[in-house]
């Protein structure tokens, strides 16, 4: 065998190995057993017949990974990797010192009495009020922003002279971001000539013009269980009644018995072991989601999902392509045994993550399904908002995209805000890092997240942030301080996101 | 002579007063010449009472109908609805159709209710049919959840049985009169919590019936998880959604006050249950409101000086069936949160725009047909005149302000449910 061929067979072997542990494999196996009943499968040509059957039935394997050194998969740029590394060290140090101060172990096994108690109030954790005053948050969001602002590429010489190319914003790394013409191409389905939910389904528009047909197509997509078509479909928005199923289809989530079992297993882990970070999670959720107008009802679900999430070792596998490497810990006495590993949500800030679970509670009320959807959304999209990387959907790129859009297309506004000490990113950072959750009305947020799924990118968050500034530009031009600017942009709950995006991308003179 | 409207009120609430002031109206006292009086229910009793009452002149408007209690007292509401149903049944109306178990198909929207002590024996008979049921006792004349308790044993209401031996017309003092209703122990839960709906309905006239529904109703959540367990029957934080009760709970949150908007509820239900059942639910809610108003319309004193804004309390059970719990004549104007204040301010604002056209000195002889531009967040729920104008065959459920315009069919939720024609 030539070198190339042996490389390929190595890759294939790796893929097969990876697949064997997956849900998909279990499904395939089950289907294969079931297919033995079918008349077209004959014993003599068993292998071929089953293969043929799979082809027709549409169960396709996952795409393959490129052959690249593992660090490159995480993050190709060295300086970014270094920055993420030192950020993590800071967090870990903070966590450890908190443990020492409070003499609480990072992880411990719960005594049986406590386990029973927790099991009993599993559905009501929101009503508990332990003393959390000694726990301080591991870091504040503005700390993270400061780290991003201080990122520098050591190979890049900016030059001292100001030119029209000087970037006036806070982010000073030379990543490539799209401009409006490129965004228009990318988000072509948001154009003025294409029907959108969020615009063309308002009460003044007769439903025959767009909405009815769109719903019909959506139902067809679901009937065919076509994941790729679903992804294309939601670019124009998803009808509320179909959204839960469409998202599950796009994220390849189906509630098989093993998924429910997996969730129950995680729940058992939570009951049995107590983690320091549990209290941090508790405090964070209490502070944020329970004060929210819409999400307070789901407070208990948030605890359940987050507590399980921090014990979910399958999430660890996504760190292969996440620039972050989370601090891992092992249950006392079980050092090195993977089943007893627990990790802390990267950057330790769980309220930010809690806010991305809450809107999902509007779609899924079955705990294991809610958990799966959230986990998949996290490992596909939201993790990029919490780690330092050069990925176009990473938070650094989003910040840069936002600032560039503002500086290029609203230079007067940008300059004015900068002059009064109100750098726009300082206001919009919190929106983007939470994917606007908690700032927009729920129905608008869901329309926005439709597009995140549809375009498989978070760039739309930066575009929306810029569009919001554009929308309130007149008022913003009048303010004379950061506080006043914050006040103008404090309440986004009345905004309609699709018209804003459409106008900004397609109807502004560039 | 276009003078300024002179207003009086005996309810010192900023949401009211700010609205009067912003219109440039002039505050006067009760004894002077006033045009607009926003009064409490006690005061309306005096204005229209036989002894102390006085005639209102053409340029005076008040915010209650004289005998609103036909709708807003729990026992009278039930009595009127029962009477209405019987009448429809007698005339053979299709609305009064019953199913094989004898339950009304379209008019079964009030939980089985009895007056105590008058109907005590009837109640006992019903109770014995399903002895494991829970019932809720409510004093007829109180509000804010006061005096309400749950029972699941006859012994708990023994004292109402004393005077029931005679079935004669013995008028009990209103203080003791209670209604007992079958408790809805399978409410729809969200996040494991029970909630109810508060909807505002403005009635400008009963004959012909013209009523408007405020689009921005809200849901009130209990702070504690719901359990039908009998051990928690005494825990009012589980069972009663009144804010007056919930705000004393440990977990009451003053920022959002345990409330959701109705549009949030709609989004949640559409996302988790589907569009058809959600639309059907909301159609049914509108239906039961209109039916309750039709039930009292014949006995209501349709005084032309009056309009009224009711607070309807509705509970949805886990089969997505709405139940009318009660109607409040004086919905609370206290605001528990900032959002609440804004909502109530806008509610009063839109109400005044409809009841006092153009903000000018009113004339009771006007036809009470405001132009659609002033509706604000109200939408026409039912307009009897328009309905009759279209003939009995047309199924008219116009919910948008443009009742008969080119977009009449556009109303999002009409036409989907199989409903009999409206008279």
- For every one of its 510 residues, what pLDDT tens digit does chain A have, with 9 covering 90 and above? 577 777 788 888 887 777 776 666 777 777 777 767 766 666 777 777 766 666 555 444 434 455 555 666 677 788 888 888 888 788 777 777 777 777 666 666 777 777 777 777 777 666 555 556 656 666 677 888 888 888 887 777 666 566 656 677 888 888 888 888 888 888 988 888 888 888 877 777 787 778 888 999 999 999 999 889 999 999 999 999 999 999 999 998 887 888 888 888 888 888 877 776 777 777 777 776 666 777 788 888 888 888 888 777 777 666 666 666 665 655 555 555 555 555 555 444 455 677 788 899 999 988 889 999 998 898 889 888 888 888 889 999 999 999 999 999 999 999 999 999 999 999 999 999 889 988 999 999 999 999 999 999 999 999 999 999 999 999 999 999 999 999 999 989 889 999 999 999 988 765
**What pLDDT was estimated at residue A318?**
65
Pairing of strands B210-214, B193-205: antiparallel
Distance (Å) from the alpha carbon of B112 to chain A's nearest alpha carbon: 30
C-beta separation of B411 from B400 below 8 A: yes
Position B310 confidence tier, pLDDT thresholds 50, 70, 90: very high
Return the higher-pLDDT residue of B287 and A66: B287
Q: What's the maximum distance between 2 C-alpha atoms anywhere in chain A?
A: 82
Q: Which two tokens stand for residue A213?
A: 């047909």
How many A×B Cβ pairs under 8 Å? Answer: 73
Q: For residues B328 and B41, is the Cβ–Cβ distance under 8 A? A: no
Torsion over CA: A448, A453, A457, A458 (sign) = positive
Sheet holding B61-62: strands in order across? B26-27, B6-9, B36-38, B61-62
Chain B residues touching residue A299 (CB < 8 angstroms): 191
Closest to B410 (Cβ–Cβ): which among A206, A239, A293? A206
Q: Tell me the two tokens of residue A6.
A: 């042996």
Q: Who has greater pLDDT, B97 or A65?
A: B97
Q: How far is B145 from chain A (nearest CA, A)?
A: 22
Report yes or no: A16 and A61 within 8 Å, Cβ to Cβ: no
pTM: 0.80
Q: How far apart are CA B8 and CA B26, in angstroms?
A: 9
CA-wise closest residue to A247 among A97, A369, A79: A369
The tokens for B386 are 């328009």
CB atoms inside a 10 Å sphere around CB A334: 13
Residue A278 contacts B where some CB pair is shorter than 8 Å:
no
pLDDT at B390: 66
Three-state SS at A274: strand
CB < 8 Å to B267, chain A: 240, 362, 442-443, 446
Identify which has the larger pLDDT, B343 or A48. B343
For residue B338, give the chain A residue with the closest CA.
A293
**Given an 8 Å threshold on Cβ–Cβ distance, is B263 in contact with A365?**
no
- Going by C-beta distance under 8 Å and a sequence separation of 6 or more, which residues neighbour residue B393? B421
Print burial letters for A37-51: b (CB count within 10 Å at least 16), e (below 16): eeeebeeeeeeebbe
Query: Between β-strands B61-62 and B36-38, what pairing exists: parallel, antiparallel or unpaired?
Result: parallel
pLDDT for A76 equals 75
Chain A closest CA to B270's CA: distance in Å? Answer: 5
- Put simply, the answer to whether A362 touches B268 (Cβ < 8 Å) is yes
Q: Is A206 on the interface with B (CB under 8 A)?
A: yes
Task: Say which residue the tokens 């882990």 belong to.
Answer: A269
**b or e along B125-163 (b: 16 or more beta carbons within 10 Å of the residue's beta carbon)?**
ebbeeeeeebbbbbbbbebebeebbbbeeeeebeebeee
The A residues from 342 to 371 touching B (CB cutoff 8 Å) are: 361-365
Cβ–Cβ contact A203 with B under 8 A: yes
**Beta partners for residue B190, in sequence order:** B193
B267 to chain A, closest Cα gap in Å: 7
* Cis, peptide link before residue A228, omega less than 30° from 0: no
Apex CA B82: angle with CA B79 and CA B83, to 5°? Answer: 85
Which of B265, B272, B279, B406 should we substitute to test contact with A (largest number of A Cβ atoms within 10 Å)? B272
Chain A residues in contact with B191 (beta carbon < 8 A) = 297-301, 361
The encoded tokens of residue A90 equal 């800071």
β-strand partners of A275: A107
Structure tokens at B295: 């039930």
Q: Do B271 and A240 touch (CB under 8 A)?
A: yes
Provide the shortest C-alpha distance from residue A243 to chain B (in Å).
Answer: 7
Phi first, then psi: give them for residue A5, nearest 5 degrees: -65, -40
Interface of B with A (CB under 8 A): 190-193, 221, 223-225, 250-251, 253, 255-256, 258-260, 263-264, 267-268, 270-272, 274-276, 278, 339, 400, 407, 410, 412
**Nearest-CB residue to B267 (from A203, A207, A240):** A240
Which chain A residues are Cβ-neighbours of B276 within 8 angstroms?
241
- Distance, in angstroms, between A144 CA and closest chain B CA? 28
| Residues B33, B60: Cα–Cα separation, whole Å | 9
pLDDT at A46: 72
The alpha carbon of residue A505 is apart from the nearest alpha carbon of chain B, in Å, by 28
- Tokens (6 digits) for B199: 């909807």
Does pLDDT of B234 surpass 70?
A: no
Where do we find the tokens 């949401």? B15
Complex ipTM? 0.77
Cα–Cα distance for residue pair A267/A367, rounded to 1 Å: 11
The residue that leads in pLDDT, B25 or A508, is: B25
What pLDDT is attached to residue A134?
59
Query: Which residues of chain A lie closer than 8 angstroms to B250, CB-CB?
Result: 127, 129
So what's the pLDDT on residue B338? 76
For the ranges A288-292, B10-14, B353-357, the lowest mean pLDDT is seen at: A288-292
- The pLDDT value given to residue B290: 94
Q: Percent of chain B, pLDDT > 70? A: 80
B362, B345, B371, B346: which is closest to B306 by C-alpha? Answer: B362
Spell out which residues of chain B touch residue A206, defining contact as CB-CB under 8 Å. 407, 410
Do the Cβ atoms of B191 and A293 come within 8 Å?
Answer: no
Q: Is the pLDDT of residue B118 over 70?
A: yes
d(CA B89, CA B92): 5
- The answer, for A244 touching chain B at a CB cutoff of 8 Å, is yes
Distant-in-sequence, close-in-space partners of B312: CB < 8 Å, separation ≥ 6:
B197, B198, B199, B200, B201, B289, B324, B327, B328
Task: Give the residue-averaged pLDDT of B109-136.
Answer: 86
Cβ-contact A234, A251 below 8 angstroms? no
For residue A163, the model assigns a pLDDT of 60
> Which phi-psi region, left, alpha or beta, contains residue B54 (left: φ > 0; alpha: ψ -120 to 50)?
beta
SS (H, E, C) chain B: CCCCCEEEECCCCHHHHHHHHHCCCEECCCCCCCCEEECCHHHHHHHHCCCCCCCCCCCCEECCCCCCHHHHCHHHHHHHHHHHHHHHHHCCCHHHCECCCCCECCCCCCCCEEEECCCHHHHHHHHHHCCCCCEEEEECCCCCCCCCEEECCHHHHHHHCHHHCCCCCCCCCCCCCEEEEECCCCECEECCEEEEEEEEEEEEECCCCEEEEECCCEEEECCCCCCCCHHHCCCHHHHCCCHHHHCCCCCCCCCCCCEEEHHHHHHHHHHHHCHHHHHHHHHHHHHHHHHHHHHHHHHCCCCCCECEEEEEEEEEECCCCEEEEEEECCCCCCCCCHHHHHHHHHHHHHHHHHHCHHHCCCCCCCCCCCCHHHHCCEEEEEEHHHHHHCCCCCCCCCCCCCCCCCCHHHCCCCCCCCCCCCC
Mean per-residue pLDDT, B323-348: 85
- Grouping H, G, I as helix, E, B as strand and the rest as coil, residue A380 is helix
Out of A293, A297, A362, closest to residue B267 by CB: A362
Peptide bond into B208 cis (omega under 30): yes
Which of A10-14, A312-316, B106-110, B348-352 has the lowest average pLDDT?
A312-316
What is the predicted pLDDT for the residue at B300? 92
- How big, in percent rounded to 5, are the helix, strand and coil portions of chain A? 60, 0, 35
DSSP string, A122-170: GGGGGG-----TT---S--HHHHHHHHHT---TT----SS--TT---SS
Q: At what angle do helices A23-35 and A3-20 cross, to 10 degrees?
A: 80
| pLDDT computed for residue A260 by the predictor | 85
| Distance between CA atoms of residues B265 and B285, nearest Å | 13
- Residue B320 region by backbone torsions, left for phi larger than 0, else alpha for psi between -120 and 50, else beta: left
Comparing alpha-carbon positions, the chain B residue that sits nearest to A299 is B191
Dmax (CA) of chain B: 67
pLDDT, average across residues B158-185: 63
Task: Evaluate whether B237 touches B224 at the Cβ level (below 8 Å).
Answer: yes
Please say whether the dihedral angle defined by the alpha carbons of residues A481, A483, A487 and A493, taken in this order, is positive or negative.
Answer: positive
CB A132 within 8 A of CB A286: yes
Q: Token pair 């601090």 is at which residue?
A: A327
DSSP 8-state assignment for residue A203: T
What confidence score (pLDDT) does residue B172 get? 46
Q: How far apart are CA A426 and CA A481, in angstroms?
A: 13
Among partner residues A127, A241, A443, which is closest to B274 by beta-carbon distance? A241
Token pair in block for residue B2? 């276009």
Strand partners, B306: B62
Q: Distance (Å, rounded) from C-alpha A467 to C-alpha B15?
A: 35
Across the interface, of A129, A241, A293, the residue whose CB is closest to B270 is A241
Residue of A126, A294, A361 lying closest to B260 (CB–CB)? A294
Structure tokens at A311: 């014990």
For the record, the structure tokens of A65 come out as 């990974």
Buried b (16+ CB within 10 A) or exposed e, A223-254: eeeebebbbebbbbbbbbbbbbbbbbbbbebe
Sign of the CA dihedral with A429 first, then A432, A438, and A441 last: positive
């Amino acid at each position: 065998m030539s070198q190339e061929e042996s490389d390929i067979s190595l890759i294939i072997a790796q893929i097969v190995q990876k697949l064997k542990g997956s849900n998909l494999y279990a499904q395939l196996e089950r289907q294969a057993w079931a297919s033995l009943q079918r008349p077209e499968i004959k014993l003599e040509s068993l292998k071929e017949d089953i293969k043929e059957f799979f082809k027709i039935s549409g169960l396709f394997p996952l795409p393959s990974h490129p052959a690249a050194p593992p660090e490159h998969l995480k993050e190709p740029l060295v300086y970014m990797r270094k920055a993420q590394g030192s950020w993590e060290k800071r967090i870990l140090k903070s966590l450890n010192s908190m443990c020492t101060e409070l003499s609480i172990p990072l992880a411990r096994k719960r005594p049986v009495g406590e386990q029973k108690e927790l099991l009993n109030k599993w559905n009501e954790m929101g009503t508990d009020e332990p003393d959390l005053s000694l726990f301080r948050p591991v870091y504040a969001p503005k700390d993270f922003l400061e780290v991003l602002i201080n990122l520098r590429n050591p190979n890049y010489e900016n030059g001292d002279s100001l030119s029209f190319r000087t970037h006036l914003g806070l982010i000073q790394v030379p990543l490539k971001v799209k401009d409006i013409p490129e965004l228009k191409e990318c988000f072509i389905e948001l154009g003025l000539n294409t029907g959108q939910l969020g615009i063309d389904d308002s009460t003044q528009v007769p439903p025959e013009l767009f909405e009815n047909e769109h719903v019909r197509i959506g139902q067809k997509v679901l009937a065919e269980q076509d994941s790729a078509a679903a992804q294309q479909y939601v670019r124009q928005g998803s009808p509320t009644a179909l959204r839960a199923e469409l998202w599950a289809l796009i994220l390849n989530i189906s509630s098989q018995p093993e998924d429910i079992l997996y969730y129950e297993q995680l729940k058992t882990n939570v009951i049995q072991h107590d983690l320091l970070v549990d209290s941090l999670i508790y405090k964070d959720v209490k502070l944020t989601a329970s004060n929210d107008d819409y999400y307070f009802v789901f407070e208990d679900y948030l605890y359940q999902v987050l507590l399980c999430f921090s014990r979910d070792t399958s999430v660890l596998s996504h760190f292969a392509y996440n620039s972050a490497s989370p601090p891992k810990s092992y249950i006392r006495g079980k050092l090195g045994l993977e089943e007893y590993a627990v990790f802390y949500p990267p950057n330790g800030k769980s309220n930010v993550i809690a806010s991305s679970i809450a809107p999902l509670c509007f779609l899924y009320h079955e705990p294991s399904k809610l958990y799966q959807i959230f986990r998949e959304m996290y490992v596909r999209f939201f993790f990029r908002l919490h780690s330092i990387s050069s990925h176009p959907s990473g938070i650094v790129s989003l910040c840069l995209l936002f600032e560039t859009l503002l500086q290029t297309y609203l230079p007067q506004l940008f300059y004015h805000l900068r002059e009064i000490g109100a750098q726009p990113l300082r206001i919009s950072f919190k929106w983007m890092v939470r994917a606007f959750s908690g700032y927009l009305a729920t129905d608008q947020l869901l329309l926005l997240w439709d597009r995140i799924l549809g375009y498989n990118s978070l760039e739309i968050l930066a575009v929306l942030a810029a569009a919001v500034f554009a929308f309130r530009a007149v008022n913003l031009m009048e303010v004379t301080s950061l506080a006043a600017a914050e006040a103008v942009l404090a309440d986004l709950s009345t905004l309609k996101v699709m018209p804003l995006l459409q106008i900004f991308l397609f109807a502004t003179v560039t | 002579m276009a003078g300024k409207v002179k207003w009086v009120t005996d309810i010192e609430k900023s949401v009211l007063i700010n609205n009067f002031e912003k219109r440039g109206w002039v505050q006067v006292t009760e004894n002077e010449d006033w045009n607009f009086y926003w009064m409490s229910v006690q005061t309306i009793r005096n204005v229209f009472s036989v002894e102390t009452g006085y005639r209102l002149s053409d340029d005076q408007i008040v915010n209650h109908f004289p005998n609103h209690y036909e709708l807003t007292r729990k026992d009278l509401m039930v009595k009127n609805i029962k009477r209405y149903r019987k009448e429809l049944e007698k005339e053979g109306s299709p609305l009064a159709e019953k199913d094989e178990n004898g339950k009304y198909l379209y008019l079964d929207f009030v939980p089985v209710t009895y007056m105590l002590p008058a109907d005590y024996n009837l109640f006992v008979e019903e109770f014995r049919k399903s002895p494991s049921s829970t019932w809720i006792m409510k004093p007829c004349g109180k509000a804010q959840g006061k005096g309400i308790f749950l029972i699941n044993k006859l012994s708990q209401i023994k004292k109402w049985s004393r005077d029931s031996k005679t079935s004669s017309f013995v008028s009990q003092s209103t203080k003791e009169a209670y209604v007992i209703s079958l408790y809805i122990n399978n409410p729809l839960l969200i996040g494991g919590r029970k909630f109810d709906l508060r909807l505002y309905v403005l009635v400008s006239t009963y004959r012909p019936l013209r009523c408007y529904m405020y689009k921005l109703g809200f849901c009130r959540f209990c702070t504690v998880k719901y359990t039908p367990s009998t051990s928690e029957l005494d825990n009012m934080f589980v069972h009663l959604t009144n804010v007056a009760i919930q705000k004393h709970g440990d977990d009451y949150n003053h920022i959002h006050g345990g409330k959701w908007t109705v549009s949030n509820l709609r989004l949640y239900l559409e996302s988790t249950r589907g569009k058809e059942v959600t639309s059907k639910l909301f159609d049914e809610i509108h239906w039961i409101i209109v039916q309750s108003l039709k039930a009292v319309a014949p006995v209501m004193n349709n005084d032309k000086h009056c309009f009224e804004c009711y607070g309807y309390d509705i509970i949805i059970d886990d089969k997505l069936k709405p139940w009318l719990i009660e109607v409040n004549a004086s919905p609370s104007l206290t605001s528990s949160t900032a959002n609440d204040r804004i909502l109530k301010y806008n509610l009063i604002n839109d109400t005044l725009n409809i009841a006092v056209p153009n903000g000018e000195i009113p004339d009771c002889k006007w036809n009470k047909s405001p132009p659609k531009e002033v509706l604000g967040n109200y939408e026409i729920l039912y307009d009897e005149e328009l309905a009759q104008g279209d003939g009995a065959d047309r199924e008219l459920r116009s919910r948008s302000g443009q009742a008969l315009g080119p977009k009449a069919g556009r109303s999002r939720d009409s036409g989907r449910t199989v409903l009999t024609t409206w008279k």
